Amino acid sequence: MAALFSKSNSVTLTIEHDTREADKKFGELARKHIRAILPQALNAAARDVRKHTIDEVHETHRLGKRVLGGLIVQGRRAKVRAPRTEVIGAYRSISFHKLGAVVQTPEGVRVPVIGFIAGAFVARMPTGHVGVFRRRRPTRRVGAGARRRPKERGSLPIVEKKFTFQRSAHAALLVRGDVRARIIFRIEFESRLIKRLKRKGII
């Protein structure tokens, strides 16, 4: 029913279901109703897995749920003609400002979740983007006997420091989501189908 795929920039939990088992249990008369209920149950399972994963990451990694909402999303939604849905965990880097209020000190920057970054500073780019940066001295090869002239500190290139969610954490959480998806799907599918069949007078 569910399968986990990992790519270079994301991990995807695919949730789908073969209707033949339900056809055998509820009979031929319920077939068209099964087709209608199936995508609803799949989408409900995907929403539950996404919410549960966000809650767990929030507790274990102390990341805000608003940030996680952009990292863990429901992909394609199940439809009657395409009974398949996805929960996707992205590995995008997150600007430190999205983790909470950063504090500039003379020695560096204090960042929520991460801690203290020595030698860092807060700056606003010409584009308006505000980030936490550190100066990086470029590596240059010099000939034998040549003297390296140090650059002025203010002219050194800078690089933005960001938080990258660990790939292994997403994968581990969505693996557990696989088991949860099976349970939630079965509950949602059977309860929705039975209600519909009763409403139609089939059972």
**Domains of the chain, residue spans:** 2-92+165-199, 95-163
Residue 134 in contact with residue 118, Cβ under 8 Å?
no
Confidence tier at 96 by pLDDT (50, 70, 90): confident
Q: Which of 23, 98, 13 is nearest to 50 (CA)?
A: 13
Cα–Cα distance list, 95 to 83, 130, 133 (Å): 36, 9, 11
pLDDT, residue 30, reads 72
Query: Which amino acid type is present at position 6?
Result: S
The pLDDT of residue 107 is 92
pLDDT of residue 28: 65
Q: What percent of the chain has pLDDT over 70?
A: 81
Query: Between helices 167-199 and 31-61, what is the axis angle to 10°?
Result: 150
**pLDDT of amino acid 151:** 52
**pLDDT class of 144 with cuts at 50, 70, 90:** low
The position carrying tokens 């557990």 is: 176
Per-residue pLDDT band for 26 (boundaries 50, 70, 90) equals low
* Residue with the larger pLDDT of the pair 25 and 50: 50
Instruction: Provide the 3-class DSSP secondary structure of residue 67.
Output: helix
